[in-house]
Amino acid sequence: MTAKKLEFKQARAERTYHAIVDAAARVFPKKGFEKTQAPDIARAAGISVGAIYRYFDDKREIFLVMLKEHLDRARNEVAIQLSPPQFTFDDPKVALVHVLDVLFDQIGKDPALAKVYLAMSLTDREVAKIREEAEIYDRQFIANMIEMGIPRERIPDPHAAALVIERAVTGAAIDCIVGSKTVSQEAAKAALHAMIVRYLFGEA
């Protein structure tokens, strides 16, 4: 879903549009999706409620646009962290551990928003699709790394391995950052490193 106007004839209109999306990114995490209303977003953006409806049909549309922009930024941040010179594949084990940490930490960048996003993905089909696409992207990246650095004799199906690894990392991060928080992030990462390195490389 996209906003009504993607081309702006006036700079002020473009500023208003982005002010609405930016305000939504502050309000939804604080109040949750159900309790957030258009006047809350308008107040945070410093505009009238009527102005919102010149760009969006309802709060759900605002949420979807805000979420997609947030995930695009997150993906760009991950891409930077996993590109030279910050990232090299000289040592496959070190490289894979680094990838796990980047994916884990990304969930913690905005825990309140992540909590709303995850909750919405359980009830809203479009949000569920957005989440699925993001997870598929992460799994493909992990699968590509496995194919590059680990013999097929060791890992016959990189995509199956990537699915298991992505689920383990995401599940642990959600529990540590936005869930029950039964263990620390450091302890969870250490356990993930040991488990996944042993599985992929046959060593601790």
Element at 150 (helix H, strand E): none
Q: How does pLDDT run across 147-174, given as a tens digit for each residue?
A: 988 999 999 999 999 999 999 999 999 9
The torsion region of residue 42 among left (phi > 0), alpha (psi -120 to 50) and beta comes to alpha
* pLDDT value, residue 204: 56
pTM: 0.86
What fold, for 1-65? Arc Repressor Mutant, subunit A (1.10.10)
pLDDT tens for the chain, 204 residues long, are: 444 445 677 888 889 999 999 999 999 999 999 999 999 999 999 999 999 999 999 999 999 999 999 999 998 998 888 888 778 888 888 888 999 999 999 988 899 999 999 999 999 999 999 999 999 999 999 999 999 889 999 999 999 999 999 999 999 999 998 888 889 999 999 999 999 999 999 875
65 neighbors 128 (Cβ within 8 angstroms): no
100 neighbors 143 (Cβ within 8 angstroms): no
Number of Cβ within a 10 Å radius of residue 28: 25
181 three-state secondary structure: coil
Q: Which of 105, 107, 103, 92 is nearest to 197 (CA)?
A: 92
What is the spatial distance between Cα 46 and Cα 26, in angstroms, rounded to a whole number? Answer: 13
Sketch the domain layout of the chain as residue ranges: 1-65, 82-201
Give the CATH number of domain 82-201; options: 1.10.357, 1.10.150, 1.10.12, 3.30.230: 1.10.357
